[in-house]
A and B are shown apart, each in its own frame.
Chain A
């Protein structure tokens, strides 16, 4: 069973609030990812990290930011939430730089901005 955790599972928050979505893994994985998914749509990569102090933006432009100060922790922050940020956010991690191993996902955070 994968040891990657996301909190909170569900969040309803008002416009303009600052929020941080937490993601932690205990597997010692180097690579971590954040995906955004709307219902019935594909998973869009918004951020990824190859290791501590390494972060890059993904294919989908996002107003969120991430940090990777510790291997096990990859939080995502929205400075000022808007209704357009309403979506499901999925965090994942994998062991190696290249292929050869699967990525494990957390349970996801369903964010609703009202």
Chain B
């Protein structure tokens, strides 16, 4: 059973607009969440993370929001640029049954010029 879920396999956004990528998790032992960006035939690269003690973390154009009660997090990219086109993976890690870094299935973001 998937513990980290990204229900949208793809998303298309116009350049300059906001991209919102969503992620849900089921294991309450997760306490640290990460977003990775991946190009084909490359390894994922770390983008931004958030600890469960926070509800928002911002880094330039990227902001991650965490709603612990809903077990939901989202990545906002503003403004979106064509170079942001990639697969975005949500990941989570914690302790006990959640001690491995667990990934979602990814969302292909396409930013249209």
Which residues on A are within 8 Å of B, measured CB to CB? 6, 33, 35, 39-43, 45, 48, 58-59, 88, 90-92, 94, 97-100, 102-108, 110
B100 touches A107 (CB 8 A): no
With a cutoff of 8 Å between Cβ atoms, the chain A residues found around residue B108 in the complex are: 40
Question: Is B25's beta carbon under 8 Å from chain A?
Answer: no
Q: How far is the CB of B11 from chain A (nearest CB, A)?
A: 14
B42 touches A102 (CB 8 A): no
B43 touches A105 (CB 8 A): yes
Question: Is B65's beta carbon under 8 Å from chain A?
Answer: no
A99 touches B105 (CB 8 A): no
B46 touches A104 (CB 8 A): yes
Which residues on B are within 8 Å of A, measured CB to CB? 2, 9, 30-32, 34, 36, 40-46, 49, 51, 89, 91, 93-95, 99-106, 108
Q: How far is the CB of A56 from chain B (nearest CB, A)?
A: 9
Q: How far is the CB of B5 from chain A (nearest CB, A)?
A: 10
A102 touches B106 (CB 8 A): no
Given contacts A33-B100, A33-B101, A42-B103, 10 further A-B contacts (CB under 8 A): A42-B89, A42-B104, A58-B100, A92-B101, A98-B31, A98-B99, A104-B46, A105-B45, A107-B42, A107-B43
Chain A at the B interface: SS class: loop
With a cutoff of 8 Å between Cβ atoms, the chain A residues found around residue B104 in the complex are: 42
With a cutoff of 8 Å between Cβ atoms, the chain B residues found around residue A6 in the complex are: 43
A and B contact pairs by CB, cutoff 8 A, 5 listed: A39-B40, A42-B105, A99-B95, A105-B45, A110-B41
B101 touches A45 (CB 8 A): yes
Q: How far is the CB of B101 from chain A (nearest CB, A)?
A: 5
A100 touches B102 (CB 8 A): no
A45 touches B99 (CB 8 A): no
